[in-house]
């Protein structure tokens, strides 16, 4: 499995700085891959990190990175409304089969 992170983890941390999350806020990483981005944001900002990915091998890697992750389709998130304070979709949006539905789902769980 290849990993696409052209801007590196620094851009993730910068985005979190701009979002200014409160300590303990819930972060959902859609298309979490290996979980490194969510884990870094969690460690740096004291977030509760969750991830979803369509690939079971990615979910296992994210779990190993300390992210609570599940196999899930971004277009049909298995979370209740308003479950998260922050949703990020790094380097996954262009690969989604149903990007409009994924955006609606991200909005719903925020």
pLDDT of residue 14: 84
Beta strands in the chain (DSSP E): 26-30, 48-53, 68-71, 86-88
What would the mean pLDDT of 29-35 be, rounded to a whole number?
A: 95
Give the sheet arrangement for strand 68-71, strand by strand.
68-71, 48-53, 26-30, 86-88
Question: What pTM, to 2 d.p., does this model score?
Answer: 0.90
Mean pLDDT rounded to a whole number for the chain: 91
Least confident interval from 17-21, 23-27, 44-48: 17-21
Is residue 5 pLDDT above 70, yes or no? no
What would the mean pLDDT of 43-62 be, rounded to a whole number?
A: 96
pLDDT of residue 2: 44
Is residue 31 pLDDT above 60, yes or no? yes
């Amino acid at each position: 499995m290849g990993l696409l992170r052209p801007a590196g983890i620094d851009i993730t941390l910068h985005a979190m700085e701009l979002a200014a999350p409160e300590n303990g806020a819930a972060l959902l990483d859609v298309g979490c891959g290996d979980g490194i981005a969510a884990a870094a944001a969690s460690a740096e900002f004291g977030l509760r990190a969750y991830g979803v990915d369509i690939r079971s091998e990615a979910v296992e890697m994210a779990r190993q990175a300390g992210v609570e992750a599940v196999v899930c389709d971004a277009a049909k998130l298995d979370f209740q409304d308003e479950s998260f304070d922050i949703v990020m979709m790094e380097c996954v949006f262009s690969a989604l089969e149903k990007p409009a539905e994924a955006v609606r789902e991200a909005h719903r769980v925020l």
